[in-house]
Structure formats: C-alpha cells, structure tokens
Amino acid sequence: MQVAETVNAGRQKLGRDDALRLARAADVVIAARGKNVVRFDMSKDRPGDAELLAVMLGPTGNLRAPTIRRGRTLIVGFNEGIYDKLVAGR
C-alpha cells in the first residue's frame, strides 16, 4: 500500500515557488475546487506556470489546502470523489 504524504498548506504557508516546485516533482497534478477537477499529466502535456498557479493557489497567493502528495501524484484542494479513491484505493 502506498502512503500519502500530506503537505500542510493550512498551517505552513507555501507560496508560488513552493507550489511550482511540488508540481514539477509530480507526474500528475490534480486540482479540485468543489465539483470542478482539473488533471494535468506533467510528463505529456506540461502546462505553463500561470495555468498551474491559477488552480493551485488561493486568493491569498498561497498553496490551497488540503494538498496531498501520493507517490508521484499531487492533489490540491478537495473533491469528495477524489479523496474516496485516494483513501479507499478505488
């Protein structure tokens, strides 16, 4: 079983450079805001910095919470379906 690593963006303020560093280290970035989910395959169609930051940063300019890294997948924001799959392994 693969363990997920939580990036505590709620307590530790991570800005633009930190968000980009996390995204560049991932193979897949999934950004969720309610029912809206955006998935980037970083190895095939790497988006530009502005496109990544638009979905990863909140209105304060910090990385949105919750943020979880599971293996080479980075999940930013909350979507119940995504977290069900992450926790249940479905």
CA-wise closest residue to 32 among 90, 72, 77, 1: 77
Q: Which helix (H) or strand (E) holds 76?
A: strand 73-76
- As a whole number of angstroms, the distance between CA 80 and CA 24 comes to 25
Question: How confident is the model over 43-47, as a mean pLDDT?
Answer: 90
Q: What is the domain extent for residue 18? A: 4-88
Instruction: Count the domains in the chain.
Output: 1
DSSP 3: P
- As a whole number of angstroms, the distance between CA 51 and CA 70 comes to 22
In the prediction, which pLDDT does 13 show?
82
pLDDT of residue 54 exceeding 60: yes
